[in-house]
Chains A and B, each alone.
Chain A
Amino acid sequence: MVSRALRNTPLVLGGVIVVFVVLMAVLAPLAAPMDPNYQELEDRLSGLGTPGHVLGTDQYGRDLLSRLIYGARVSLTAGVFAVLLGATAGLVLGLLAGYFGGWVDLVVGRVFDVLLSFPTILLALAIVAALGPSMTNLIIAIAITTTPNFGRVARSAILSVRSREYILASESFGSSDTYAMVRHVVPNVMPAVIVTTSLGIGGAIQAEATLSFLGLGVSPPTATWGNIINDGRAYLDVAPWISTIGGLAIVIAVVGFSLVGDGLRDLLDPRLRR
């Protein structure tokens, strides 16, 4: 398994990017050269390569490299937690729908249909509109938009194993529904869920950036990649690097998670590869 993983180019390349981004987020206090909110007004809008500010500064003279490193914390936290929450909710609902069928399947299926009837970002906007802009609500909103994707993956996976002999045998020996699900069904669903999780984190990072950019996510002055892009928006003509750097960070991180997702798909379940 390990040697197969190491021969999988997308997985290795994506893994290197993801590990780099995660380390950057975890070690932010050590890795960042300055406090991300420290303002040096005399150095405002300094360009790339300025001594002491490798990636320049923003309109308040804050060091962009430090904001980028600390931004990884917020963007990753939002992305990972939103997808984990969405995956858990989707997995539970999808398993219940697929295992019990009947009216449970009908109701859960309808809820998924309705959630998928909204363009993703519109649904997230509507939820944030109701709950109010904050980091927690942002995570909840993104989680809700990802739930049906996981739910459908779990439901279809359970339907494909539901009538297999080993599950029927387990039930005939008197094991409970919960035991059969946890012991036999969940392990079969996990490869698909892991792949969807990895691909979903990239989407969640983009969603966080979009909502923060619109002023409906994490409030300034907290450094997030979306906020960095938004900060640079008014200075595109004199300091285009501010928004460019924030966006590049998102592109690199999302590419990393996508490559890991693609690689895991090959590794864990070649049948899913199309």
Chain B
Amino acid sequence: MARLILGRLVATIPTIFGVLVAVFLIVHLIPGDPVTAMLGDTATREQITSTRAALGLDDPLVVQFGSYVAQVFQGDLGTSLMSRQPVTEQVMARLPSTLSLAIAGVLVSVLIGVPLGILASARRGGKIDFAALLATTVGEAAPSFWIGLILSSVFALTLGWLPATGGGDPGDQVSILRALVLPAVALGLAGMALVARITRSSMLEVLDEDYVRTARAKGAREFVVVVKHALRNAAIPIVTVVGLNFGALLGGAVVMETVFARPGVGTLLVNAILSRDYPVVQGVTLVVATLFVLVNLLVDLSYSLLDPRVKNQMAGRR
């Protein structure tokens, strides 16, 4: 198992390196002089010169990249051009809020998507199956930020049950949880569609298997047949989709934070883009993309826990 994990970790290194290159290049994609773009046309020559020097833009590209990588590995993501604060500090202070939103979104997507998929597969071709198809089609088509606005309009502004904006009072767990409900449900509803579809199709595949028929023939209750025998064997594609969903919902959380004015890395990123604070843009992008890669790695590794055949295949390949 340790060899397997190590092998997968090593395989992730080139991807992380590629992410570093891509994030580094963000500043170099800026048309014209990046410093003028950052500081605006009213910047003085001195300001431009000092910012160029601070960002190391006078050095050759390879040297700039080397310094950037060295900096990143020391945990230094640069300094914000706006607040003059270290980017690492800003990102780390806001990351828990974004992660909790993404995790809550995944939970909602699983809590709604998996039972919906199971019900649809158990009632294949029936009214429940059709309702599930309708729900997943609309869920996939609706932008999550719009679902967030609709939920906010109904449950916060009209009914007044939950807060419309903010991340809750720091230190007050109830308030933080209340502030999390609407954005998490909006994110989860958007992610639910894929989970429900995959659950349905995976369940349909295993419900026709011999061992399921045998379990039924032995008189097992339908609930036991579906949950114990079928769901367990249908779990791998579901886990894959939940893992992939986490990445998508991490991106969705970035947008959802703007809808609900939550103090996460999403609002930090959008404000940084609007104010052309490129060190912050690079820092947030790098951290979120790295998290995405690591989550995919965990999903990959979880296959072997769920299915020993996959583990053997992976070990055999090496």
Contact = CB atoms under 8 A, between A and B. Distances in A.
Given A117-B19, A122-B285, A209-B143, A130 B26 contact: yes
A237 B153 contact: yes
Contacts of A258: 137, 140-141
B150 A247 contact: yes
A250 B19 contact: no
Contacts of B15: 113-114, 117
Contacts, number: 141
A110 interface: yes
A163 interface: no
B142 A118 contact: no
A129 B141 CA distance: 26
A20 B252 CA distance: 29
Contacts of B22: 114-115, 118, 126
Contacts of B138: 251, 255
A255 B14 CA distance: 37
Interface string B7-25: 0000000110011011100
A127 B273 CA distance: 10
Interface in A217-274: 229, 232-233, 236-237, 240, 243-244, 246-247, 250-252, 254-255, 258-259, 274
A114 B21 contact: yes
Interface in B15-45: 15, 18-19, 21-23, 26-27, 29-31, 37
A254 B251 CA distance: 19
Interface size class of B (residues with CB under 8 A): 35 or more
A210 interface: yes
Q: What class of interface size applies to chain A in its complex with B?
A: 35 or more
B293 interface: yes
Given A130-B26, A255-B138, A214 B258 contact: yes
Contact of B19 (A118, A129, A232, A244): A118
A113 B16 CA distance: 10
A247 B146 contact: yes
Contacts of A117: 15, 18-19, 289, 292-293, 296
A202 B289 contact: no
B250 interface: yes
Given A110-B18, A243-B153, 20 more contacts: A117-B18, A118-B288, A119-B250, A119-B252, A120-B251, A121-B255, A125-B273, A126-B22, A132-B37, A206-B143, A209-B143, A209-B146, A210-B145, A216-B270, A237-B153, A243-B149, A250-B141, A251-B141, A251-B142, A254-B140
